[in-house]
Structure 1
């Protein structure tokens, strides 16, 4: 076993898959023992079977597919708005120190503000419609992403920039032909991570004034103490997040093959 735990030594893809599946198996095994063994009352934690039954009922009787579609749209709309602003701004801040000096203090201040605290203001400004929910996700994502992109771009090796100037590159060429290609794989990775954070804000966004969505369903289930429906809704978010995470990883490897193994 000791060779497997060599620091920073890569794991074979097949072994990685097996270990990942084993973790899920142990999780469901522990969940089943806790519920079917009577250690936890159903009022507090539904069993895996009851959760699956509740999920099937959600799709058949309550149109849960529409709730999923609405929530996915909200997350990706807010995330797309955040990425459209944060990525260019982060690149400029990382590449040009005066731009960083101008924005850094404000962005560092704003990223500590909880997105949920803006909900009363957003309701006042945008009502309780879709825009309010998308803006909650936008606020929760944009400032974190700006900082991450800035750190990535500013961390590009200086010798690459110096070599470009030596070969006759101009300022725009250095940004477009050196900094961007070098930073793009990590920026894509930052987008993957922040998308995960965006999913954590959607439930908060759907707490107020929502008539559809996964968060709305979870709150309704809470009123009836239906832990099966609540757990199923949480699992659906996790499954969607896992799928998008895997897609981001595959797309990153395909778009930026030069970064493989970094």
Structure 2
């Protein structure tokens, strides 16, 4: 794959839009907000899921994947995340109350467990299918992170859900090969208190955050708009001229190419 494909981009699930899910290599996705509906019969090619955090819109398809995989796969589905995120999966999902504990259920006819939870270390690179994913801490939940996504010397910075976060702008300044920033805007600027309480960005907050960066030669893409406020957010983004260097508001099915130096 020479592209990152956005399988889900919404801040809310609607009849026409899924929630956060990025297909970054043949066997690997970031988040699981819209996997089953987009992959169909090819879903069994997925072997690695890197999570940004444990909110429902980012993990919703994982329990159903485990249910599918237990009779069809030969090796475990590997799920990566920071400790707090994986603890949420252990305690709140795969606990034999909300869903069967597929961490302990063996794949039918094989010896591996159905899923394997792998704890990430911040700022340490992980390699899958020629793509490198490096998690960095964000300000959303205790276990939230974004990812530097790299291939062949080309890099994209994906924040996922976040509030104000200095590390985003430090990484862009430190790593000039990062040609694209993909971040979120969930609410209109009039909902600044709600954004603060839920740790999300508004157009005004993002405009203020951008001032922390010492370069502007990267494309800016935005996702995770709450469907009820999409029109207002789009108007604010246009007025503030935030979608720089060919960036856009992403919709399901959009792709971004890895730029080869």
Q: TM class by shorter-chain length?
A: under 0.3
Give the number of the structure whose residues are more often strand, by fraction.
2
Higher relative CO (Cα under 8 Å, sequence separation at least 6) belongs to 1
Q: Given the two structures, how large is their TM-score scaled by the length of structure 1? A: 0.22
